[in-house]
A and B are shown apart, each in its own frame.
Chain A
Amino acid sequence: MAKHIVTVNKASLQKTVQTGGCGECQASCQSACKTSCTVGNQVCQK
C-alpha cells in the first residue's frame, strides 16, 4: 500500500494505439454537446 500516492485508475492509452480505432463508439458531438469536442467522456464499445 503506497503511503503518499493513491492511483485512481489503471489506464493505459498506449495499449490502445494498436488495438483501437474500430469507430463503433458514438460520435462525440452527437451525444449532448453539439458545440464542443469532448471525447474523454465517451465510453469504449469494445
Chain B
Amino acid sequence: MVSVSRLEGDHAFVKQSASQEHSKGNEVPPEGFEIPVYVMCHYLENSGALDVFLCKADDEQSLLDTLILAQWEEHAFRGLLNYDVTSCETKIVDGGKRLTAQLNMEWNPNFLKEFEKRIFKLPGGIIKPSYMKNNLEDILCCVTTGEIEKSMVACLAAVPLEGILIVSNANPVEYGHIFLVPYSIQLRTQFIGRTLHLMANIAHEVNSFSLRMFYDYFSATNADQKIYFQACYFANPLPVELLPTLPIYDSSIVDGLSIWELADYYLKALVFTSKDLKHLAAVVGEICFELQKRNAVFNLLITDYGTKMFLFPQVHLPATGRHLHAWECGGYFIYSNNAEFERASESEISRRLASASLDVKGFGALKQLCCNIASKLC
C-alpha cells in the first residue's frame, strides 16, 4: 500500500512509508532509475459486484492497458526480446474447433523454468532480493493499490511495499507476453486466492478484450509455492472460449456465480463466471488451494475482463513430465518447425489434449468439489 499526495508541478509523488526505507537493503534499484508504478484505486480491493463498471466495451484504451503495451513496445523497440512474435505465422487448423497453430522457430520451451530460476529464491519461492537490481530492464512496471479516487501512474525510484511486478517475457507466445509476479516485502507467502483477486482486478483495469491471463500449476515440478501469472494479448478469442457450455451450478440470483462445463472438448474443463470479481476469485481460489493440497496439476485461463475463469485439470504425466500450458489447454499450440506446423491437425492436437484430460470419474469428483466449495462460500 502506498500513500499518494499531489505536490506542485505536473507529477504526482508517492510517499513510501519510513519503515520501508530501512528494510529495503539490496532491493533498492540503482540511483536514477525510475519504475512506473500503476496505483490501482482502492475501491477495487473491497468492492463486490462491479456491474456498474462493466459496460466498457466502447471505452477508449485504459491507462493500464496503455502503460503495459507502451512498456512492452519500448522493450521490443530496444531489442530486449529474443524475437518479434508478430512475425510468426498463425493459422486456424482445419476442423470444427478452430484450434490455432503458431509457427515459432525461436521459442524456448524451457522459458518458464529459466524464469523461475532467475526470479525465485529456493526453497520458499519468494522473489530473490537481488532480482530487481539485476533484472531492472525486464521490469515493465509495478501495479499496487492506493487510497486514491482514480487510478494513476507515478514514476518511483523504488517499488512499493507490496504489489505485482510486471515483467516482460523475452520468449513470447503472442504480443505483450508478460509475467505478473505478486510480491510483498512483509508477507513471506502468497496465497492463490488473494493473488487471483488482484489478477482479476488488473484484468478489469486493463479493460481489453484481447488480454488473457494464465496460471500453470505443475505440482510435480513445482513443489514450492511460487505463485505468478502470465498474460498475453490475443486479437481473437482462444478456441476454447467459443465452445458451448453446460451449466452445472447456478446461484446467479444469490451471489452471481455460475459454473459450467465445456461441452464437446478433448480436455475436460470447467468455466466459472461472475461479475463479482472478489467472490469469483474467492471461489476459484479456494478450489485451486484444494487442488494444490492434493498435488494436482491444473491451469487457469482468465478472460472477459476478469469475469470468466477456465479451470483445466490435468492428469499427472510422469512418463513425459510435459504438462500443457494454459494457452495449449485453450487450444493454441506452438510449432517449432515448418513441417510440424504444416502437418498440424485437429486429430493430432486432440490426442495431446485428451492425453492430459481427467477421466469421467475424476472429473465428476472435481465437479462435486467445485459445487461444494461454491455453495459453502455462497
A binds B: no
